[in-house]
Chain A
Amino acid sequence: MTTPVLEIRNLHARIEEREILKGVNLIIPPGEVHAIMGRNGSGKSTLSYVLAGKEDYEVTEGEILLNGENILEMEPDERAAAGLFLAFQYPIEIPGVATMTFLKAAINAQRKARGEGELTTPEFMRLVKEAGSQLNIDNDMLKRPLNVGFSGGEKKRAEIMQMALLKPSLAVLDETDSGLDIDALQVVSKGVNALRDGQRSMLVITHYQRLLNHIVPDVVHVFADGRIVESGDKELALKLEAEGYANYGGEAA
């Protein structure tokens, strides 16, 4: 059997004294797109932050293997260099740092961590132009400070562009559909689908089925009270849309 891109074993995590993840088990083989659906507060976003290595969360039990390697002891930048990418639900605005400068720093830092040479400026410009044109991102936007004054749609497109440039083996998309109108959703989905290449795996976190019409998952998982409670094919998402999360316990958020 080939090594899964992501394997999560009995993952427990808490923030301060509150346990949020209560035994998550998940395996994503290469090339597959898995969706996690669940109501607000079920712990979906926490899972994405714990995967990326945000300091606020403490893992109390379990393992996360990325391409067979345990990443729990790694810093967030090391996880990124190892092939993990998190598309943020709310991308952070960073005044004073030009988007272009940031992209170059990120690409070259990852290349350096993997023992590859830095890109020359013309090489870098060509890659950015290619990635940008598919997502309707022009030069003006790249000159602006990172995410500052970007509309909701621009922020999400910028996230997908970063993903296209950084070429992760696992992309985690945290509520990428939030704040998008139909047109923007299509542009973003098209960008994501262009990155499905049979090798790269994705974990798509959402609470609406809508996104999954555009990014069609191989497997759908239902998340409730800090763990996966049911898994199925894409039909499961339609069933959830029709019936809601009521069958999975807990109070409506």
Chain B
Amino acid sequence: MRPNFPVRLGAAEQALIDQLKSAGADQAAERISVAGLPTRRVESYHYTDLKMLLRAIPALGQPANEASAPALRVPGAFNLMIANGVIQNASTAPAGVIVGKAQGGVLTTRDDVLVHVNNGLAKEALTLTLENSVDPVIQVERRIEGEAAHVADALKVFVADGASAVILETFSGSDAAHVGNHATYMALGKNAVVTHITLDLSARGVSHFATNEYHLGDGAKLRTLIIHAGAGLSRTHLFPHMGGAEAHADVTGLNLVSEGQHADITMETSHAVPHTSSQPLFKSIARGRSKAVVQGKLVVARDAQKTDAKFMHQGLMLSDEAEILSKPELEIYADDVVCGHGSTCGMLDEDSLFYLLSRGIPKAEAETMLVRGFIAELLDPVEDEALNEALQGVVDGWLLGQ
């Protein structure tokens, strides 16, 4: 095979290079000018060929002077906002929450173009320090407003030993062809308990990228719920690092895709020390000509004996043209672990549907009930009633919005 270097650069790549250079991120710029955006030949982008899918990068976002309606209102939540990368002033924080700002990006460097771009372009990061258990849901709204813009923003959360919190991030904004590149770094102290929900409700013209990195200390418990329900193209990276004994992560996510949409959740969980566990569970629902991707990798270090981890992806096809792609990977260096993976994919069950119809429930309603039932396993663990209801509303809205 002929070597592919140097690659032919497209308009999107050229724009990225210029923007990175203007921000002083020469190394990241250099990397893209040599390798270009990843194509299907790059293993981790095999099902999400960025060179093909990302044809244009709009100008870097400027501070916003207009605002769209909030994407999701959760009664009782404490709200924070980052608009076009700029951290907005917040109301008084609830007890135990310290809100601050830090310079630059928050992600640990790794060989990934979206991570490089975020670290290169994010100017300031919103920081949250949670000193004890926080009652209200903390909602961080990330908006991209106005004309089409390329925005990189960042959030860094420290959760003190023994503290607990529910953190919701919503992604939304104006109806333009934005490219969002969002980073979240979260460190959980000993025995901290965190539920972290990210919900993409961007407009259809948006390309939404997010990278969530988690570091769990001894006995920390993390539950994530990633929901893709907006952008035409979305990809969320999840990098949980199980660094403390007895740490446990329920890493969950949901791709909801309709005609023309492409959603991708790519997870790599690293079990670094003995006695940690994780339970990644993802679901995808696809209708029309659409594509949902879940890649899940479990990496177990040589010392991480007694790791208990099981990856699962379940797909529900609501049309014949939909595609659901599943790629589990196990990379295990220890010899005394319980690790596994599973994947299922199918249409709605005919017998279940007939049972509901035979009780007088009309077909559309019966299908909705079955789809809700399919998702219940992901939404039920969200205990905050107002938040659970709001998320259910998002899912119902998607189901009804053919």
Contact = CB atoms under 8 A, between A and B. Distances in A.
Contact of B365 (A52, A76, A109): A109
A105 to B, nearest CB: 5
Interface string B357-374: 111111101100110111
Nearest to B374: A96
A76 B372 contact: no
A113 interface: yes
B373 A97 contact: yes
B351 interface: yes
B355 A80 contact: no
Interface string A113-154: 100000000000000000000000000000001000000000
B354 interface: yes
A94 B356 CA distance: 10
B375 interface: yes
Contact of A145 (B356, B359, B373): B373
Contacts of B366: 77
Contacts of B360: 77, 80-81, 106, 109-110, 113, 166
Nearest to B354: A54
A92 interface: yes
A208 interface: no
Interface residues of B, number: 23
Contact of B354 (A76, A95, A96): A76
B363 A92 contact: no
Contact of A94 (B357, B373, B377): B373
B357 A97 contact: no
Residue of B355, B359, B369 ringed by the most chain A CB atoms within 10 A = B359
B370 A86 contact: no
Contacts of A55: 350, 354
B373 A91 contact: no
Interface string A155-178: 000000010001000000000000
A96 B355 contact: no
B56 to A, nearest CB: 40
B376 interface: yes
Nearest to B372: A96
Given A55-B350, A96-B377, A145-B373, A75 B359 contact: no
A102 B355 CA distance: 11
B373 A106 contact: no
B344 to A, nearest CB: 13
Given A77-B358, A109-B362, 13 more contacts: A75-B363, A80-B358, A86-B358, A92-B352, A94-B352, A94-B355, A94-B356, A95-B377, A97-B369, A97-B370, A102-B356, A102-B369, A106-B356
10 contacts: A53-B358, A55-B350, A94-B352, A96-B377, A97-B373, A97-B376, A106-B360, A109-B365, A113-B360, A145-B373
Interface of B: 350-352, 354-363, 365-366, 369-370, 372-377
